[in-house]
Structure 1
Amino acid sequence: MADFEWYRSFCNIYKHNSVSEAAKTRMMTQPAMSQHLASLEAEVGEALFIRTARKMLPTERGKELYSQLAPLIESLEEATMNFRAASLPTITVIKIGTAHEFYVEKILPRLHQYDFRTITLFGTASELLEMLKEDKVDIIITSQKVQTPGIEYLKLMDEEFAIVAPSHYEIPDTDDLEAREQWLSAQPWMSYGLELPIIRRIWREHFNKRPQIRPVHVIPNLHMILKAIGNGTGLSVITTYLTNEDARINTKEIYEDLKVKNELFFAYKLKHKHLPQIREIMAVIREEE
């Protein structure tokens, strides 16, 4: 008779296309995860995955079984989560880790909706992950999905980045990528960091080269960079949820076909997954989207 845990392990392997990644998600050893799969395949009577060097590919029987099991397991886990949440002690303070810009635009306007106190810490993606691992925060909003035992990620949104210039700049009207790249490289730039985050992405994805840019100013705050652009200081790359109507008075997005996208995730420890406050934070932020 099949064990329920075999089904859960099978669904996790299916989602991650990997026994090792599924084992991390379930906080199990890889041999134990492999044993669950072997036991289920023996029960079913045929292979559920094709093993390749890089990943596990589901067989037709595996796809069929997943389509049957996934909604049932999700429903049962949701019921379990609700049951556990009801019995958990109330936590009156939730510690949130995020980027300053995301907090100002996406969390601060809806802060009044939370029925609990919050403590917020700001940092880069790598700094936020360390805070989460060390229990300095309960939940983070991050652009980096680093598989870490005991930590679960849930996609929040795609954020879009565009090149932004002062509104008075005269922009060469050309579709020639080489001409655009030459003009852009000759302009004064501001960056979030010396390593040119996101700017490198645009050059790599659209120009297939590294940017030959030395920023005139490094300012680790996109709101301040946007204000500096409006003052005529130079160009930068800004997430489009900051370039609202007020910002467009003195700035403008240029070469819109050169935009790039970045994924944002919620990340939290599995031990906090069932906390109603964690679920409420995610729900309110998602409502904004």
Structure 2
Amino acid sequence: MSRLQHLRTFLTIYREGSVSGAAPKLNLTQPAASQHLRLLETQLGQPLFQRLPRGLAPTGAAHALARLIAPHLDALDAALNATRTRARDLPGPLRLGGPAEFLHARVVPHLTPLLEAGIQLRVHCGLSDDLAEQVAAGHLDLMIATTRPDARLTSEPLFEERFLLVGAPRWAERLPGRVLRSADLSEVPLLAYADDLPLLRRYWGMVFGARLESVPTLVLPDLRGLLDAAISGAGVTVLPEYLAGPAAQRGDLRVLHHPTEPPANTLYLTWSEARFTARVAFVRDHLKSLVTLST
């Protein structure tokens, strides 16, 4: 029989002042509660109560033991109750939004624990500004944002994405072995996410200190598509490390430049405090743990 159960029985008897008062609270019969107490007294080698005609009187040893164990048993009971409550409140729908590429690479492979907890996930992909409006309007419960949303919503940093200049091995072999300059890339075809070259322009400005004026040979608003195009040898592009890193490790891509401070961007977990439930908290904490583990 568990010593923890003996201690719990003792503490309940101590607080109730009698075995008859304690037994129902412990879901025990009076003989079973009395047996717990006798076993504990045998283990301690001293009595914990004086048996009176009506009830029990704690001994000095009982007072000392109660002071020692009560905070710990109460904290344990509180934790168990919180876990039971959370488990009861978890099942149900949750609407999660974020950038398709990050969700695909770093979130979707790790969703099984959420589904096994009874959460019915509905995943929405899109741009952060649009998704933030949906969170504010109550159409999404939680999102991963590429920029910190406005003060209507609560957010906390989740992940720092670093950006790499990458291309297929054949492009790496054509570039000089010395430190790369922007001029070395003037004749290289560029693959872009949008016509205004957002990632490429940022890389050129921050790393090369130069303005990029080239016209891209391919515009494709999907980073996974750009990854495939770069692997095929179509040209050079800038991609987040979480996406390009595995391909570079396999040798399908080469990192063409290694600046001391590569461009980076922080992703944020974002929600509305007005609709922050135990389910939202559980999914938020799961996302934080899986991104940390897989970084």
Relative to the length of structure 2, the TM-score reads 0.63
What are the superposed Cα offsets for residues 174-208 of structure 1, whole Å, 9 maximum, x if unpaired? 22x6xx10122321111111121222221221233
Mapped pair 1:156 → 2:158: yes
Question: How big is the shift at 1:249?
Answer: 3.0
What are the superposed Cα offsets for residues 127-150 of structure 1, whole Å, 9 maximum, x if unpaired? 22222222221111011113232x
For 2:130 and 2:176, the matched residues in 1 are separated by 39
RMSD: 2.4
Percent identity for Structure 1 against Structure 2: 22
Q: How does 1:159-198 map to 2 (within 5 A)?
A: 159-169=161-171, 170=173, 171-175=175-179, 180-198=181-199
Q: How does 1:237-256 map to 2 (within 5 A)?
A: 237-246=238-247, 248-256=250-258
Question: How big is the shift at 1:225?
Answer: 0.8
CA separation of 1:94 and 1:205: change in aligned 2, threshold 3 A: same
Structure whose alpha-carbon radius of gyration is higher:
2
For 1:191 and 1:241, the matched residues in 2 are separated by 18
**Letter matched to residue 268 of structure 1:** W
Is contact 1:152-1:267 (8 Å) kept?
A: yes
Q: Hey, which bits of structure 1, 4+ residues long, moved more than 6 A?
A: none
SS in 2 for 1:187: coil
**Letter matched to residue 134 of structure 1:** A
**Structure 2 residues not aligned, in runs of 5+:** 1-78
For 2:128, the equivalent position in structure 1 comes to: 125
**Letter matched to residue 221 of structure 1:** D
For 1:245 and 1:146, the matched residues in 2 are separated by 30
Question: How big is the shift at 1:223?
Answer: 1.3
Question: How big is the shift at 1:250?
Answer: 2.0
Counting helix residues as a fraction of each chain, which structure ranks higher?
2
SS in 2 for 1:243: helix
**Letter matched to residue 183 of structure 1:** D
Is contact 1:94-1:118 (8 Å) kept?
A: yes
Question: How big is the shift at 1:221?
Answer: 1.2
Is contact 1:163-1:259 (8 Å) kept?
A: no
**Letter matched to residue 215 of structure 1:** P
SS in 1 for 2:227: helix
For 1:43, the equivalent position in structure 2 comes to: none
For 1:136, the equivalent position in structure 2 comes to: 139
For 2:137 and 2:160, the matched residues in 1 are separated by 27
CA separation of 1:249 and 1:90: change in aligned 2, threshold 3 A: closer
For 2:106, the equivalent position in structure 1 comes to: 106
Is contact 1:185-1:212 (8 Å) kept?
A: no
For 2:251 and 2:208, the matched residues in 1 are separated by 29
Is contact 2:247-2:253 (8 Å) kept?
A: no
What are the superposed Cα offsets for residues 51-96 of structure 1, whole Å, 9 maximum, x if unpaired? xxxxxxxxxxxxxxxxxxxxxxxxxxxx9xx79x86x966611101
For 1:287, the equivalent position in structure 2 comes to: 289
Q: How does 1:31-50 map to 2 (within 5 A)?
A: none
**Structure 1 residues not aligned, in runs of 5+:** 1-78
